[in-house]
Structure 1
Amino acid sequence: MRAYGWLSALGWASAQGSGFAIARIAAEGPVAFAQHANDPIARQLLADPHAEQTQMIILIVITVLSLVPIAYYARAVRQRLGGRARSNQRGGGYEE
């Protein structure tokens, strides 16, 4: 498994981060712990031409998975409030 991170990365085989990186085989970062830490072998193992695309896909999946429960919760609250939510929107919630 590979791990990429902005602040830190912890991976089983390899890790690359801008804070610290910890892995068994290869790690690259300001603070790196691995068999090959910040050396040419680590750079070669971590050179992945599709890394940015993979990170973008992971970011999109995490975003969608976090927005879906929020949407369901908002829908449930609207159903629970029923007509009260609509009447508060029109009159501002104050009756004369």
Structure 2
Amino acid sequence: MTRTVQCKVLGREAEGLDEAPWPGELGQRIYENISAEAWNDWLQRLQMIVNENQLSTADPESIALIERHMLGFLFEEGDLGGLPAGFRTGRGKK
């Protein structure tokens, strides 16, 4: 049976993730509150963030910035999470 969550991003019930996609408390919070569809939307946004900011996932400062964007995108917390100026997307958050 498929696990569902009340997704904070989509604002509706949707299929949940199979496991926590990130370590620690944040990963557990994502697992409990974010749908697989919204997580896939985040992964697309993450690719843009990494490329635009030339981030390295091996750099602790880059990981911290990624987490700030993640909190903004998934939970509308903090000052990040939106699209960079001049970017548009066909679906999901702007």
TM over 0.5: no
Larger Rg computed on CA atoms: 1
| Structure that is richer in strand per residue | 1
More relative contact order, 1 or 2 (CA 8 Å, 6+ apart): 2
Q: TM-score, normalised by structure 1?
A: 0.24
